Structures are given as C-alpha cells and as structure tokens.
Amino acid sequence: MKEFKIAPIRNGTVIDHIAAGQALNVLKILGVNESNIGSTISVAIRVQSKKEMGWKDVIKVEDRELDPATVDKIALIAPDATIVIIRDYYIAEKFNVALADHITGLARCSNPDCITNKGEPVEPEFDVVNRRPPTLKCSYCDRILTRISDNLL
Amino acid sequence: MDFYDKDIVSIRDFTRDEIEQILDLSEVMIPYANGDKVKRPLDGRILGNLFFEPSTRTKLSFESAALRLGAEVIDVSQMSMTSISKGETLADTIRMVDTYCDVIVLRHPHEGAARLAAKFSINPVINAGDGAGSHPTQTLLDLFTMRREKGSIDGLNIVLVGDLKYGRTVHSLADALAMFGARLTFVAPESLQMPEDTVRHIGERGCSPRKTDCLEEVIDDADVLYVTRIQKERFPDPDEYQKVAGMYRVDNAMLREAKSDLIVMHPLPRIDEIAPEVDRTPHAKYFDQAFNGIPVRMALLCAVLGGKM
C-alpha cells in the first residue's frame, strides 16, 4: 500500500520536486509567516524521489492557487519544481516551473553600489547565465547575483 | 558595424572587429587630434558632459575631442549646485539633459549608471566610468596605445599591477585584452587582486592569467607594464589603504631587469607608483597614452553622431 507522508488536499497547490533543502526558501516566496497563514501548509523535507534527483522537498498549500509571479520566483531557486493545482481532490493542472532567459523585478541586485539599489525608477533585471543551478547576472552592473533566496523581492 | 546612434556602455558589448573598427578610425583622427589638420564634421552638434565624480583627463579630453570636431560642449561644473543635490533621480536628470544635447557623456559613482542612462536617453550615451564598473573609453585608448606602440596586441605579455580590485580601468581592460589574445599577469596583494567575476569572464575567453604579489618576479618577460594607482577613495577601511599604499614603485633600477622595448603605461593620475626618473626613458608611454584619449574619443563621438571624416 502506498504510504502518504502528507495527506492529500482537497483544493490548493502541490509544489513537488523542490530541490532538497530549498523548501524553507520556497515558503519565504509564498510569503508565509505567523500572521498571514489562512490555510494549512504541509511541508515535507527530504522525501525519496522517483525522479533521478534522489531527494526532494514537497509543499502542499491548501485553498490557494499560485499566481504566475510566484511561480516564476520559485523557478529561480527550484528550477525542477512541478506545480500541481488540485480541485476537489483531482489534478486540475500540472506544469513544470520555467526559468526565463531574462528576469525582471523578481529579485534585487546583491551589489549595494548598483544603480538599481539607489532609488531610481527601474526594476532590477537579470540575465540567466546558468540554469543548473540558476545563476543570474545583473543587466545594469554585470555582477553575478549571489544567494538568490536572500535577494528575492 | 554602424555605430550611429549607439550607446557606448561597456567594452563587453563590443566584438573584437568592432573594437578594431574604432581603433582604425582613431588612427585617422591623429592629425586632427594634435591640430595638424582641421575638420569640423560635428559642427552644430552639442555634447552634454555629466560628471558626478571628479575627473581631469576624461572630462577635458572629451571636451577637447568635441571641440576638435567642431561640436559645442555643455556641462555642469558643480554638481552641488544642481537639482541632483535636491534629490532628483539620475533617470530624470538624463531625460532633461537629453533634450539639451545630441550626445551625453556620463561619469557616475554607481555601477550600472550608464546602462540606466542609456535606457532613459533617446540620444546616445557614452560611459565615462561608472563607479567600480566599466570605463570603456579608457579601455579603448589603452588598446589603441598598445597597438600603436607594439603593432599588434596578440600574444603580448601584459602585466597589470596595483589596485586590481577597485581600479575600474583594469577590469574592462583585462577583459578586452583577453579578447585580443594577450597573455595576462595580475600583480597585487591578495586584498587587491582582480575580482572573481572578471577572472571568470577572462577564463571564458580562453585566457588563464598568472597571479602574483611580486612584480620583480614577472618584470623580465613583460612587453607591457600597466601600472595603476592605489585609489584611497575606493577603500572603505583606511588601515587597509595604509597597508598597501606604496607597495609597488616602478623606478629605473627595477626596469634594468626588463626588456629594452617594454612600455610602461598608467591611466594617470599617478602618485608615487612610477618614479619621475622613468619619464625620461623610452619605456614611458603614459603621456602618449593620455594624448591618445583625444583621437579615440573623437572617433567615438564621430561614429555615434554620424560625422563624416
């Protein structure tokens, strides 16, 4: 019999195939803190994966379907993640997150002297210079963004 | 490539062929740059010089280049007297100045400022240095000097010494030299060595630079010695500055170990990195290098404004 580490959800989103260890960063993207949780969120860290990646993290968010901007942010730190939308216990939609070639407005440049950190009316922009692991280069100052999860907007 | 109306933001935006094209045009500019010949292809055009940081050579040479070509120059002599001191964004300043001139030359303390200016300006923007970021016109004049003095840059042994971390000229220069197939050596104390980002870019161009903190070890087979000032204003920590200031001093005793045709370059201003006695040797090329800023900047202004020589 198949053993469920987390119970199935009736409505909401399952974020599957998160690279092991990144679940807490994904929670940060979801904007989860003590005061704003309106539904149950289940987190499984280091679950055996059938895919070749070996270990993975899984998050289930009840009663919430993720918007595209949130999905794009998840792609920055978990590029292999799968998003599964559940409606009335059935899979309504399933898709892989997609990391674009050019990122606008999702993260800030880690260089404090970059012009994008000086109150100018522009959104930070990055070129994706490597996809595994995701590596971003600032389109303004050319610096490589270190620690993406610490610089998400 | 047609440079008409193009922004000059970073040397990384150029291919080798495009750089050579500018260097060839710079060669054409020499007799006009030194006043032997007169031509005014930019008559009636206006250059807006926006310098948010102090500069002598870059600002004056852009002015001189524009005037030699018949253009007029407007500038702000004191930034403290402007709306910038009232908190105006760079984006707004650029949009305003853009309506007053045909090309903007910008020096700014923050990295990426020129890219931002290019985004908000309709007319072309030329980056005259943005913080610790790039300084493409300095790079072009450095390449021009090496090519003029040595005939070609391919295969030259080039030693960069001094402040390789904060010195903005050396980042752009190292990247371009790698593109031209030069062999590079970086001489600096560990705390001032070339940033990893730049080393990675150079590596992608197939160049693996030597790194050392001892200039004496590498001077004997150098073709070009490029000396930079340890810049006090770039040091967050004054103690760190004191530790490394004056560590490398090029004098005639040291140059006795060098090849007879070694050229010594420096973006200037120098403090005491190069002894004045070196000025009188055939190695010294830093004042020729400073002059070369004129033909190179004339070439760029002419190219982006569509002037015909």
H-type alpha helices, A3-151: 23-29, 68-77
Residue B273 has pLDDT above 80, yes or no: yes
Residue B241 has pLDDT above 90, yes or no: no
Q: Which residue from B112, B197, B200 is facing A115, i.e. has the nearest CB?
A: B112
Q: Do B111 and A118 touch (CB under 8 A)?
A: no
Q: Across chain A, where does the E strand assignment appear?
A: 12-19, 41-48, 55-62, 82-87, 90-96, 102-104, 125-131, 134-138, 144-145
**B174 SS3 class:** helix
Chain A residue at shortest CA distance from B11:
A142
- Residues in A closer than 8 angstroms to B10, CB to CB, are 142
- CA pair distance B153, B204, nearest whole angstrom: 19
CA distances from B280 to A18, B85, B150, B268, B277 (A): 66, 44, 19, 17, 6
* Closest among B95, B54, B59 to B74, alpha carbons compared: B59
Find out whether B225 and B284 touch, Cβ atoms under 8 Å: no
Size of interface A-B (CB pairs under 8 A): 54
Q: Has the ipTM of the complex gone over 0.90?
A: no
Chain B residue at shortest CA distance from A111:
B111
**B178 SS3 class:** helix
Q: Nearest CA of chain B to the CA of A143: how many Å?
A: 7
- Residues in B closer than 8 angstroms to A143, CB to CB, are 111, 197
Mutate to test the interface with A, among B110, B134, B165, B233 (most CBs of A within 10 A): B110
Give the contacts of B248 (CB within 8 A, at least 6 positions apart): B161, B162, B187, B215, B227, B273
Mean pLDDT of all residues belonging to chain B: 92
Output the CA angle A19-A21-A26, nearest 5 degrees: 75
Give the pair of three-digit tokens for residue A125: 């922009």
Return the DSSP state at B181: T
**CATH superfamily entry for domain B136-289:** Aspartate/ornithine carbamoyltransferase (3.40.50.1370)
* Closest among A13, A33, A31, A15 to A23, alpha carbons compared: A15
Dihedral angle over CA of A100, A102, A106, A109, nearest 10:
140
Give the pair of three-digit tokens for residue A20: 């092991």
Which residues of chain B from 178 to 197 reach within 8 Å of chain A, CB to CB?
Answer: 197
According to the model, what pLDDT value does residue A51 have? 66
- CA pair distance A93, A126, nearest whole angstrom: 29
Q: Nearest CA of chain B to the CA of A120: how many Å?
A: 6
Find out whether B286 and B265 touch, Cβ atoms under 8 Å: yes
Average pLDDT on B30-43 reads 97
B200: confidence class by pLDDT, cuts 50, 70, 90: confident
Proportion of chain B above pLDDT 90, given as a percent? 73
Backbone angles phi and psi of B294, in degrees to 5: -70, -60
Output the CA angle B245-B251-B253, nearest 5 degrees: 130
Q: Write out residues in chain A with pLDDT < 70, as ranges.
A: 1-5, 34-36, 51-53
CATH architecture entry for B11-134+293-305: 3-Layer(aba) Sandwich (3.40)
Q: Do A140 and B197 touch (CB under 8 A)?
A: no
Residues of chain B with CATH 3.40.50.1370: 11-134+293-305, 136-289
Task: Identify the sign of the CA torsion B117, B127, B274, B191.
Answer: positive
- CA pair distance B24, A33, nearest whole angstrom: 61
According to the model, what pLDDT value does residue B85 have? 66
pLDDT in tens, B55-77: 888 999 999 999 999 999 999 86
Q: Do B112 and A144 touch (CB under 8 A)?
A: no
Q: Which residue from B89, B109, B111 is facing A141, i.e. has the nearest CB?
A: B111
The residue type of B205 is R
Which residues of chain B from 83 to 112 reach within 8 Å of chain A, CB to CB?
Answer: 89-91, 108-112
According to the model, what pLDDT value does residue B173 have? 93
According to the model, what pLDDT value does residue B230 have? 81
